[in-house]
Amino acid sequence: MSSFKRKSSSSQSKRILGVRPSASSAAVLNTSTGIPSFDDILGGGLQLSTSLLVLSPDPHSAHGDLLQKYFIAQGLASGQDVCVICENADNLVENCMWTQKPSEDAAKNQSSSVDIDEELSPINGAIKIAWRYESMQKFQTTVDSPTSPAQEEYCCSLDLTCRIPLDVVKASKASRQLLCVDVASLNCDESYDYLLEIIEEALRRASDWYVLRLSIPSFASPFWGDPTPEKILCFLHSLRSALRTSPNACALLTLPSHLCSEWGGPGWVQKLGWLSDSCINLDSFTGKLLYSDPFMSALFPSYHGLLRIHRLSSLYTLVPPSDRFSTLRGLSSASSSSSSGGVGENNLAFKVTRKRFLFETLHLDLEGGVNERRTTPLPSASAPANDDNQHRTSVPAAHLDNTPVISIGFEDHWKGSPALGIVVADNLRNEEKPPKAKKPKKRVGFLADRPELYDF
């Protein structure tokens, strides 16, 4: 056994809080956005030295601001530096969500729910499925929430029903962990250049052992001055080049709703994606653009909109890590068994529940809802009765006159490929056909007075 040991300095034992090496390259570090399902879509989290642009075209929704609050709360909870640049930055931080400590009541409720599930579950495995399906993974529409302490350190369990304590906000400002820059107090003519200088100065002063999060909600809003396509594109390009010089910084930007469509001319959204490391679009069902259709909200009542990906970051790689390691997108072979089955990229949707913000694979809801426990078949699934009165009541009142009615069905005599047959009923009142005249039975007569045929 060798007695030599490698010397390790004290600086090597210190690690950066709230980061994780990327699955594609150990030289790239990821930090969490605060939403586990969104981290999975990004390929494990938001890569450091990159920027993420979120477009939310619906003016009546605030999903982009909700992502910003998750981003800020996750940074403060994990001990990272946060810089918020917007109008009313203090108000935005005070309205952020926070973690919830498990209480005794919550533990009791959880135990009672577990007991109910155990009572309703099949006893001793009475219900069995085919052996070929036993080894398959359970179909999941999203990723699991963090449960272990290591996962909690990387991505905290943030609850929308909890608000960040004011003591935490004051302590973060006193220790310079939190910096709020109010855009409304600046000169509108020079706000873009001045704020870019503030960001570059913050990046130079950033510590090598702490991550700096740049949160820029409502970028290029009227408080920034008169926006032009040249100013916005130049700012995004300068911000991306400044982030490349800082290995422990990342930025999250959101645009106002009127700038998320073709505001800057044809190809405006593509230009925004080219000048950002990552760019996504949150299309709400209640808006006025591509996927804004009341039938979509009726068809998918559990979701609030669709997620479209314009571009994802790929530092030091040709292919984004999300294409290889994302479970929800379903492009990798490892996720094909539980999501898309290897047939292509999944359609992604988002929804906001009472306690959290979720990204899931788009799918139709269960018939009757997910909370329904059905013990008897639906009335529509049962076979119709042959009662004549029941058949008459099922006919609409508008068709009880002499007007012809068309009923569509399949003919039975086409065995190879069933053909569609149309039957026209001239009168529904006289459904019973008149009885046919019966033909007289044939009779055999025996004539005794005549000789038989073979009588010799």
Tell me: the pLDDT tens digits for 265-322?
889 999 999 999 999 999 988 765 554 566 777 888 889 999 999 999 999 888 999 9
- Asked whether 298 and 307 are in contact (CB, 8 A), the reply is no
- pLDDT score of 415 more than 50: no
Q: What percent of the chain has pLDDT over 70?
A: 62
Question: Where residue 12 falls among pLDDT bands split at 50, 70, 90?
Answer: very low
> What's the pLDDT tens digit per position in 332-377?
755 554 444 445 788 999 999 999 999 999 887 665 554 445 445 5
Give the mean model confidence (pLDDT) for residues 150-177.
91
> What's the pLDDT tens digit per position in 221-239?
999 988 899 999 999 999 9
User: Which pLDDT score, from 0 to 100, does residue 136 have?
Assistant: 63
Q: Scan for tokens 């700012």, then name that residue.
A: 235
User: Which pLDDT score, from 0 to 100, does residue 447 have?
Assistant: 55
Parts of the chain belonging to CATH 3.40.50.300: 16-102+139-361
User: Which pLDDT score, from 0 to 100, does residue 298 have?
Assistant: 80
The 8-class DSSP code of residue 100 comes to: -
DSSP one-letter string for 362-384: --PPPTT-TT----S--TTTSPP
Tokens of 26: 């150990």
- Asked whether 34 and 156 are in contact (CB, 8 A), the reply is yes
Q: d(Cα 138, Cα 146) in Å, to the nearest integer?
A: 18
3 state DSSP class of 122:
coil
Q: pTM for the complete prediction?
A: 0.72
User: Which pLDDT score, from 0 to 100, does residue 184 have?
Assistant: 85
Q: d(Cα 304, Cα 308) in Å, to the nearest integer?
A: 13
3 state DSSP class of 189:
helix
User: Which pLDDT score, from 0 to 100, does residue 186 have?
Assistant: 79
- Asked whether 250 and 74 are in contact (CB, 8 A), the reply is no
User: Which pLDDT score, from 0 to 100, does residue 264 have?
Assistant: 83
Q: d(Cα 50, Cα 312) in Å, to the nearest integer?
A: 10
User: Which pLDDT score, from 0 to 100, does residue 165 have?
Assistant: 95
> What's the pLDDT tens digit per position in 248-269?
999 999 999 999 988 888 899 9
Question: Where residue 419 falls among pLDDT bands split at 50, 70, 90?
Answer: very low
| DSSP alpha helix (H) spans, 121-228 | 131-134, 149-154, 166-174, 191-205
- pLDDT score of 421 more than 90: no
User: Which pLDDT score, from 0 to 100, does residue 253 have?
Assistant: 97
> What's the pLDDT tens digit per position in 173-213?
999 999 999 998 876 667 899 999 999 999 999 888 899 99
> What's the pLDDT tens digit per position in 88-145?
999 999 999 999 876 544 544 454 444 434 443 444 445 566 666 666 666 566 676 6
350: left (phi over 0), alpha (psi -120 to 50) or beta: beta
Question: Could you tell me which residue, 31 or 206, shows the higher pLDDT?
Answer: 31
Q: d(Cα 87, Cα 100) in Å, to the nearest integer?
A: 28
Short-list 147, 181, 155, CA closest to 31: 155
- Asked whether 37 and 328 are in contact (CB, 8 A), the reply is yes
Short-list 318, 305, 270, 357, CA closest to 68: 357
Give helix 191-205 / helix 229-244 axis angle, nearest 10°: 10
Pick the CATH number of 16-102+139-361 from 3.30.450.20, 3.40.50.300, 3.40.50.280, 3.40.50.150: 3.40.50.300
Q: d(Cα 444, Cα 440) in Å, to the nearest integer?
A: 13
Q: Residues 6 or more apart from 51 whose CB is under 8 A from it?
A: 236, 239, 240, 243, 250, 251, 252, 253, 276, 277, 278
Question: Could you tell me which residue, 148 or 395, shows the higher pLDDT?
Answer: 148
User: Which pLDDT score, from 0 to 100, does residue 55 have?
Assistant: 95
